[in-house]
């Protein structure tokens, strides 16, 4: 997927009051929460398979909270 096909999260509007609603809004808008862009920067999220690595859910909530709070 080229950079132009990725959703630019700097233009995404997130709705909802609860964290779960905002996360669902983010995923719906971005379509692929693992691969998106911020302006011209391509972002690909990968996760560790180590036992002590944080969960996908916690990482996505943290991303959404930092971006939209």
Q: Residue-wise pLDDT tens for the chain (69 aa)?
A: 666 789 999 999 999 999 999 999 989 999 998 999 998 888 898 877 888 888 878 888 888 888 776
Say what the pLDDT of residue 1 is: 63
47 token code pair = 């996760």
How many whole angstroms from its chain centre is CA 16?
15
**pLDDT tens profile 22-33:** 999 989 999 998
Spatial distance between the Cα atoms of 34 and 2, rounded to a whole number of angstroms: 14
In the chain, alpha helices (H): 19-30, 56-68
Cβ proximity of 45 and 53 under 8 Å: no
Angle at 32 (CA atoms; ends 44, 50), nearest 5 degrees: 50
């Amino acid at each position: 997927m080229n950079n132009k096909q990725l959703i630019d999260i700097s233009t995404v509007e997130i709705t909802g009051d609860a964290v779960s609603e905002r996360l669902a809004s983010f995923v719906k808008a971005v379509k692929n929460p693992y691969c998106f862009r911020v302006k011209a920067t391509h972002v690909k999220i990968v996760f560790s398979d180590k036992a002590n690595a944080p969960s996908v859910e916690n990482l996505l909530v943290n991303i959404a909270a930092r971006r939209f709070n």
